[in-house]
Chain A
Amino acid sequence: MFLCAIVEGEDLQRRWEALLDALDAVTPTVEDAGLGAAYLDMHGILGEPALWYAQVRTALAPFFVDVRCGCSEDAFCAGVAARHADGCVVAAGEEAAFLAPFPLHFLDVDPRTIERLVLLGIERIGELAALPYGAFVRRFGARAALWHRRASGTERRSLVPRAFTLPIEASALGEGEAQTQEQLLFALRVLLGRIAESCARRGRSAGGIRVDFFCDDASERSIELFFALPTAEERAMFDVLRARLERESFEAPVVGMRVRALRLEEAGSRQMLFVRERAQRQDLAVALARLEGLLGEPVRRACLRPAHAFEERFTFERFTPDLAAVEDARVSALPALPLPPLHLIPEREVAVEVRGGVPVAFGDPPSALYECAGPWRTQDVAREMPPRDEYDVALADGRWYRIARRQTRWYLCGVYE
């Protein structure tokens, strides 16, 4: 038996993962069917639908949301039952009869196909189920097979369980106490280094961190903060955290700390040459953290919403620098650069002669550089590469190259057309 739970409530987007976690208390197999819908596999779970419904409501009670449930041997049928009426149970073998009076859009059929079917006199799921399977699929394509199976109540698919992610966290407990700011920041930096290392090793980047402080007088304090961009860089995390902690004071020495990465995302850093956008976002995140530490509440962004009363026509939410909003006026005001295309090539080590920290000759035998521009600090987090400095160099014969320095070695990594 499958159970479908349709959830409605405020701020569902932010709480959806927590809601799904809560449903794990009902059954170990929960499928995320998109925002507001979840399928639960109840095979082997003790009880009957009424008891399961009660368990679902109990699990979701702390979230203050409206829940509608439906049960059936077929997952799709359970979803329709939940949307049809709360507590609806479709007995085994009666799926087709139950689905028959519902309109076609329940099958996720695209509107254009629905128009074609209506022209053929097919407006209900039951009428579609009555069509011959082979001819219908030949006429409407491969997707029609799924529609027909669903309409007949014979889809019988298995649920796709949610992918669980192991938390990335680091802690220091029972390793002494921090009485000064320097000690505290040093310990935090060590923990953030471990977090950054774990993120890089798993190919993840963190959108925020949560830091729990345990003090000597048994008090605890938690701080959650979010970065401008998901990152796996220790320095970026530390800058924001240090700004947030500027106004914090502790009554007793800190004897334990735990740092946990939040909002884990797939890693992969965009390397944007000639654009300061990334640095700008980091500056913004640091300033926001500093203001939050000063004021005790986050900087806000206003959002409009339709309402009758004047005072209800807007809400405030936490200010987060999203992609659309961040744009550096100084950069965007510049006209497009007439840059020649840069061909990235497999890196190979080259000999570079440096004078005063600046490349002056390049290659073997060495050719004098006519010009050199740079350096630009880049870092490939996805491949766990350390940061490096890149230069654009022009040879006297007019050729341009992109070279990079990593520690004491130089590499040729690109050629301009």
Chain B
Amino acid sequence: MLPVPDPLANRRAAFHSLKERLVALQRPAPTQERRLPCELPALDLALGGGLPAGLVTLEGPASSGRGAIAFRALAVASRSAFVALLDDGSCYPPALVEAGVLLERLLIVPVREGRLLARALDTLLRSRLCRVVVVRARTWSAAIWGRFSQLARETGSTLLALLDDGLHAPAGLPALRLRCRSERLVLCGRGSVGGAFLGYTFSVEPFARALRSQAPLVLRASRTNEDLPLHERATRSLSAPQRAARRCAV
């Protein structure tokens, strides 16, 4: 006997689909699959799509490219979610805008006391509001590092901790460690004296258990594109109106 086709099968399937979507709305997104691209192709490729959720440490001395990576992550995440920056007084918003961060979605939390920094960070992570939180880390105990790492992992946020030389998060806690080092400055002009600063090249060494390569993988990412012709590179240091005027002149 042939099976009788159900005339309402399509409607039932549609209702099931609707119900699944509604349930999915109430369920937090799976954290292990969420990767946040930095839009630095070489770095994203090496990391399997981008920064993972959880604690990510950016280690290195000042002006080594940690901020560039953090700002890239803020820019990408701010297109679709809130992001936060715990500001110790060194935040310069024009640089954030230049990196592409949407300021209307950036929570700038003013924290100057080390005692309050950990509490504010804890509050931010527990609120589950921000996709990316950037903090200049202090000397914290292993228990505090562990708490932040766990909170970030559970909430699906990426906690980017900028660590100065000499500071380290306890081994095993960060989902990813990036060690940054500046390679060279890029100037435009005849020589270093009087030349216009265009940017710098820095290298990044990611350490993560998930990476296939055991040896540190050295990547080079740059704020400048050296393949561009010279006059194009020169215009990168100008403001938007100046660039437009330069284009018109050319």
Give the contacting residue for B129; candidates A287, A304, A314, A338; CB below 8 A. A287
| Contact residues in B for A328 (Cβ distance below 8 Å) | 81
- Let me know if B12 and A319 touch, CB within 8 A: no
| Contact residues in B for A337 (Cβ distance below 8 Å) | 18, 21
| Contact residues in A for B18 (Cβ distance below 8 Å) | 337-339, 373, 392
> Can you give 5 contacting A-B residue pairs, CB < 8 Å?
A291-B124, A295-B109, A301-B103, A338-B14, A398-B8
CB of A82 within 8 Å of the partner chain: no
- Let me know if B131 and A329 touch, CB within 8 A: yes
Cα of A304 to Cα of B101 in the assembled complex, Å: 12
- Let me know if B104 and A325 touch, CB within 8 A: yes
By a beta-carbon cutoff of 8 Å, the part of chain A in contact with chain B is 274, 276, 280, 283-284, 286-288, 290-291, 294-295, 297, 299-304, 310, 313-314, 316, 319, 322, 324-325, 327-334, 337-340, 370-371, 373, 392, 394, 396-398, 400
- Let me know if B108 and A333 touch, CB within 8 A: no
Chain A proximity mask over B26-38: 1 for CB below 8 Å, otherwise 0: 1011000000000
| Contact residues in A for B108 (Cβ distance below 8 Å) | 299-302, 316, 319
Which of B53-87 touch A at CB < 8 Å? 80-82, 87
Cα of A394 to Cα of B17 in the assembled complex, Å: 13
What distance in Å separates the Cβ of B173 from its nearest Cβ neighbour in chain A?
24
In the complex formed, the residue of B with least CB distance to A337 is B21
- Let me know if B15 and A294 touch, CB within 8 A: no
- Let me know if B120 and A295 touch, CB within 8 A: yes
In the complex formed, the residue of B with least CB distance to A397 is B8
By a beta-carbon cutoff of 8 Å, the part of chain B in contact with chain A is 7-8, 11-12, 14-19, 21-22, 24-26, 28-29, 80-82, 87, 91-94, 96-97, 102-111, 116, 119-120, 123-124, 127-129, 131
| Contact residues in A for B116 (Cβ distance below 8 Å) | 294-295
Contacts A295-B116, A322-B104, A371-B16 hold; do A398 and B11 have CB atoms under 8 A apart? yes
- Let me know if A291 and B94 touch, CB within 8 A: no
In the complex formed, the residue of B with least CB distance to A400 is B15
Question: What 5 A-B pairs have minimum CB-CB distances, sorted nearest first?
Answer: A302-B93, A287-B127, A329-B80, A329-B81, A314-B93
| Contact residues in B for A284 (Cβ distance below 8 Å) | 82, 127, 129
Cα of A136 to Cα of B221 in the assembled complex, Å: 69
- Let me know if B22 and A274 touch, CB within 8 A: yes
Cα of A338 to Cα of B16 in the assembled complex, Å: 12
| Contact residues in B for A288 (Cβ distance below 8 Å) | 107
| Contact residues in B for A295 (Cβ distance below 8 Å) | 109-111, 116, 120
- Let me know if B15 and A291 touch, CB within 8 A: no
| Contact residues in B for A286 (Cβ distance below 8 Å) | 127
Most chain B CB within 10 A, of A274, A276, A333, A373, is at: A373
